[in-house]
Structure 1
Amino acid sequence: MDWSLRTRAIAAGRPTEPGEPLNTPIVPTSTYVAGGGFTYARESGTPTWEALEEAVGALEGGRATAFASGIGAIAAAFDLFPIGARVAVPTFSYSGTRGLLEHAVKQGRFTVRQLDPEDVAAWEAAADEVDVLWVESPTNPMLHLIDFAQLTGRHAKVVVDNTFATPLAQRPLEQGADVVVHSATKLIGGHSDLLLGLTVARDETLAQELRDNRTRTGATPGALEAWLALRGLRTMPVRLAEQSKTAALLAERLSRHEAVTRVRYPGQGMMIAFELADAAAADRFCAALELIVHATSLGGVESLVERRGMYALEAHVPQGLIRFSVGLEDPEDLWRDLSRALG
C-alpha cells in the first residue's frame, strides 16, 4: 500500500511474520553461524540495522545505509567522488562538512567553491561547472533555503543534507537529488542519546558503493544505537509537528522583542536562528537561561541554544546569532525563560 509518511514512520521495517516480535530487537552480535544470510556484522550488517535502513528508505524513497555517526555518513558520501572533483558548498553550512572539505583541499583531493546560499545565479552556474553540489536546505545555522530542484539533472551530482527538514518536509530524491544524508543523532533519534548517520541513495549502484565504504572503513553503527534510532523514528512525525507549532509561535514573539535584531525562521520545522546585538549579549543570554539548555546539537525533546560564532569554522556567522533547537516543553514556559533571559 502507498501509506502516508506518518504511517511509514510507524510501520516500515517492522517484523510481519506470525510469531515474530512486534518490534525488531537489538541484535548485539559481531558474527553469525555459517550458512545463513548473515556472516560477520561489519560486512553483512545486522537485523537491527536492516530494519532502520528499511524504515528510513521508505520515508526518503531510496536505499538507506546506516553509519556510526552523521559525519561518518557525510564522509562516505564524499568518498563517492574521485580525486580532483570540484565541489560547491554553501558558505553558511554545517561546520563538520566544511571541515572535511578543508582537509580534502589540503590533501589535494578536491577543489571547493563556497557559494552564498542566497545567490541563485551562482548555484545555477555551478550546477553546470562543478562535479558535486553539496546542499543544505535549510542551512545550518542560518536557515537559508536553497531551491535544489532547479539544480538537478545537470552536470553536477546533487547531495542534500536533509537533517533539518527531514523527509516529512521534503524528499530530495523525488526532486532529482542523487544522495541524501542525515545525522540521525538529531531529529530521527530525537532524544540526544545516540550517535548515528544515514545515507539514502536514489539508485542501487550508489547504494552499494556506500555500503562498500562502510565495510572498508568500519564506520558501522552499534546495535543499541540503531535500535534507539528506529524507536525514535516511530515518533518523529508527532514530535516534529508539535515542535514546529511551538517554533512558529516563538519565532513570531522573538521577532517583536526589542533585544532581538533579526529572526530567521523558514516557515516550518523546529529550528530558529535569531540575532542579538553582539557576542557579549548572546553569551549573557545563554548564561541566563534556566529551562532551555545551553548545549550543542539539536533535534531532541529538550530545547537547546548555542552561539555558533564561538567556533573557528563558524566565525563568519553573525557573532550575536543564537541557534535555537525547539523542544517539546510547554510553549509558555519556553517563552517565559526566553523573555526573562533576553531582559
Structure 2
Amino acid sequence: MLDPVAVRGGLGVDVHADRPYRPTGQPEGTHVTHHADPCESWSLSTRAVAVGRPHQPGEPLNVALTPATSFIAGAGPGYSRVGNPTWEPFEDVVGSLEGGRATAFASGMAAIGASFEVMFAAFGDGRPVVAAPHVHYSGSRLLLEDLRRAGRITLLTYRPEVDGPATVADADIVLIETPANPGMEITDIAAFAAGRARVICDNTYATPMSTRPLEYGADIVVHSASKYLAGHSDALIGVAVTADPEISDRLLGYRTTHGSTPGVMEAWLATRGTRTLPLRFGAASDNALRLARRLSDSSLVAEVRYPGLPTDPGHDVAARQMSSYGAMLTFRPHGGSRHAQAICEATRLWLHATSLGGVESTLERRRRHADESAAVPPDLIRLSVGCEDVEDLWQDLSDAITRTT
C-alpha cells in the first residue's frame, strides 16, 4: 500500500499534518513542511472529524471564517490568492482522507483543468495523447474536446468494462471515472495505472470513504467537492490530491498563478460538510443498495446499474477496490425516454434536479441536457440517493413509476 508520508519524504512534508497557517515568508506557489500528526493511526471516520481542527488553547473548535484579501505583513499568506486560513483545514482533512496532499480550487472543473495542465507541462510543446472513458462527466468531456480542437492533445476513448489496459497503451495521460458519471461503469484503477501513462482519477462518486485511488496507482485524484464532500448542495468548490511532491507544488503554483481559488465561505461550508461525510455517505450508500435491489426486481424496470448488485458488469472489480458501493445508481424504465421524463416529473419526495451528493435525494434524465453525450441512453434516469428513510424513498419512486406506466 502506498505510504503518502514516505512518498513526500523528499520535501519533508507530512501530508497528515494540521496546518492552520503557512509560515512567515513562504514563497508563492510552494508547499511547506509541517509537524507530524498522530492521525496516521486513525480511521477515516475519525480523520473526517478530527483532522484540521485548531489545537491551541483558547482557539475555537471550528475554523474561523476569514473573509480577508490581505494580511498584516510578517506572518500568514500575505494575500488571499496565495492562501487563506479558511481553506487550509479543508485541504488538510481531504488530503488525509485520500492519502495525499490536497489543493482546493474554485470548482471541480477548475481542479480537473489544473490537473491536466500540470500534466501537460511535462510534454513541453508536444501533443500528449489523452485517453478518456467513452462516457464520462459532460464537463470533463467538453474540456477535452476543446483541447483537442485547439490542437493541444490527441484524444482517444476507451470502454472501461470492455477494453483492457492495452487499449490505452499509447496514452500519455489516462482519465478515470469510477463509477463513471452517469453510466456507472467501473474501471480497474490498478490495471490502468500499471502502464507508463499518468493517471487522473475523478473520485467524486466513490469518495475516499469507498475508494482511495492513490493507493491503486493514480497520480492525481480530483473531486467536485460540491457533491459528497461538502454534501449539502450549497457550496461550489473542487479539490485535487496527489502524493507526488512535484505535482503537488505545481498544482499550488497553477492555482496561485491562474487565480482559481475557492471562496472562503465555500471552503468553510465544505470543511463543515466533510466532518459528516462518513455518516452521510454510509447512510446514503445503504439506501442505494436497498433501492437498487428493489428496482432490479421490478417488472417495470428494464435495467439497473449499481456496482453493489452481483449481476452488475462492474461488480467484481468494484468488490476489489471499493469498501462500499456508493450512493449513485441508474435505471432505465420500460417505455422509453418519455416514460423516464414522466417519472422524474411525478415524484414528490425525490427532487427533479441536476447535480448530486447532497443529503436530499435527486433524480434526472441525463439526456435532457443538450451537452450530454449521445452515448448515454435517452431513457436513463440517474439517482443520487440521500439520507431520507429508504421506505419513503421507495414508496415515492415506485408510485411514480407505476402512475406513469
- With normalisation by structure 2, the TM-score equals 0.82
Q: Aligned pair 1:116/2:145, yes or no?
A: no
- Within 2, Cα distance between the matches of 1:101 and 1:231? 32
- Within 2, Cα distance between the matches of 1:304 and 1:315? 22
Contact 1:68 1:221 in 2 (8 A): yes
Deviation at 1:153, TM superposition (A): 4.0
Q: Which shows bigger deviation, 75-84 or 213-222?
A: 75-84
Query: Cα–Cα, structure 1 residues 323 and 63, in superposed 2: closer, same or farther, change >3 Å?
Result: same
The one-letter amino acid of 2:76's match is G
- 3-state DSSP of counterpart to 1:208: helix
Match for residue 394 of structure 2 among 331, 335, 338: 335
The one-letter amino acid of 2:175's match is W
- Within 2, Cα distance between the matches of 1:182 and 1:130? 23
Q: Aligned pair 1:316/2:375, yes or no?
A: yes
The one-letter amino acid of 2:215's match is E
1:46-75 Cα deviation digits (max 9, x unpaired): 111111101100001101000001111011
Which residue of the partner structure matches residue 198 of structure 2? 157
Q: Aligned pair 1:252/2:298, yes or no?
A: no
Query: Unpaired runs of 5+ in structure 1?
Result: none
Please tell me the root mean square deviation across aligned C-alpha atoms, in Å.
1.1
Q: Which shows bigger deviation, 186-195 or 249-258?
A: 249-258
- 3-state DSSP of counterpart to 2:372: helix
Query: Unpaired runs of 5+ in structure 2?
Result: 1-37, 121-125, 309-324
Q: Aligned pair 1:281/2:339, yes or no?
A: yes
- Within 1, Cα distance between the matches of 2:344 and 2:138? 21
Q: Aligned pair 1:86/2:150, yes or no?
A: no
Which residue of the partner structure matches residue 196 of structure 1? 237
- Within 1, Cα distance between the matches of 2:248 and 2:68? 24
1:106-149 Cα deviation digits (max 9, x unpaired): 1101111111121242x3341x3110010011001111111011
Contact 1:177 1:202 in 2 (8 A): no
The one-letter amino acid of 2:52's match is G
Contact 1:73 1:197 in 2 (8 A): yes
- 3-state DSSP of counterpart to 1:314: coil
- Map 1:233-312 to 2 at 5 A: 233-267=274-308, 268-277=325-334, 278-311=336-369, 312=371
Which residue of the partner structure matches residue 49 of structure 1? 87
Contact 2:48 2:278 in 1 (8 A): yes
Paired residues, number: 340
Contact 2:366 2:372 in 1 (8 A): no
Query: Cα–Cα, structure 1 residues 240 and 180, in superposed 2: closer, same or farther, change >3 Å?
Result: same
Which residue of the partner structure matches residue 12 of structure 1? 51
- Within 2, Cα distance between the matches of 1:112 and 1:314? 16
Contact 1:179 1:199 in 2 (8 A): yes
Aligned-pair identity in percent equals 49
